[in-house]
Amino acid sequence: MTVAIHWEAFFQVLGAALVGTLLVVGFYALGLRMLVRAGRVPVVTPAEFTDAITVISEKEAKRAAKAAAKAARKSPLSEGQKTLAQIAAYACFAVCAAAVLGGILLIVVK
């Protein structure tokens, strides 16, 4: 009985998952960064305040929103630059969505 192990398959999984993850996470993070640059700092409060959430309290969320507004006012960028940054942000999010859809399509088509 021969035991054939396809090692290259494991590297395929590692490679595909690594590239996919870094693409999605990297571009999403870049998109957020661009949003911040555009003066639209996302302040997303937890959908529900449960015991589990020690990450951000309601008070902290309000403070964060205030800080975000202040940072946006102080931004040295011109309106045009801000718009550009915002477009870049949405482009980054689009890349993420495309990467996810592409990955799923690859699996379904196969």
Partner 1 sequence: METAALIVVLVILLALFFDFTNGFHDTANAMATPIATGALKPRTAVMLAAGLNLVGAFLSTEVSKTISGGIVREDQIHGDLFPALIFAGLIGAITWNMLTWLLGLPSSSSHALFGGLIGATLVGIGMNGIDFGAVLSKVVLPALIAPVTAGLIAFLATKLAYLVTRRYDGRPDGRSGFRWGQIFTSSLVALAHGTNDAQKTMGVITLALITVGWQSGAHHEPQLWVIIACACTIALGTYLGGWRIIRTLGKGLTDVKPAQGFAAETSTAATILASSALGFALSTTQVASGSVIGSGLGRRGSAVRWRTAGRIAIGWVLTLPAAGAVGAVAALIVVIGGGWGVLIDAILALAVIIGLFLRSRRNAVTANNAFSEVADSGLAVEVPEEPPLTPRQARAQRARERAKAREKGAGR
Write the CB contacts of 46 (distance below 8 Å, at least 6 apart in sequence): 53, 55, 56, 61
The answer to whether the beta carbons of residues 82 and 35 sit under 8 Å apart is: no
* DSSP helix/strand/coil, 92: helix
Considering the rule CB under 8 A, would residue 24 count as an interface residue with partner 1?
A: yes
Considering the rule CB under 8 A, would residue 73 count as an interface residue with partner 1?
A: no
Helices 7-37 & 79-109 angle (0-180, nearest 10) = 160
From the CB of residue 38, how many other CB atoms can be counted at a distance below 10 Å? 21
Considering the rule CB under 8 A, would residue 17 count as an interface residue with partner 1?
A: yes
CB of 70 to partner 1, least distance (A): 9
Considering the rule CB under 8 A, would residue 79 count as an interface residue with partner 1?
A: no
Considering the rule CB under 8 A, would residue 45 count as an interface residue with partner 1?
A: yes
Task: Count residues near partner 1 (CB under 8 A).
Answer: 55
Instruction: Enumerate binding residues for partner 1 (CB under 8 A).
Output: 1-6, 9-10, 12-14, 16-18, 20-22, 24-26, 28-30, 32-33, 35-36, 41-56, 64, 67-68, 71, 96, 100, 103-104, 106-108, 110
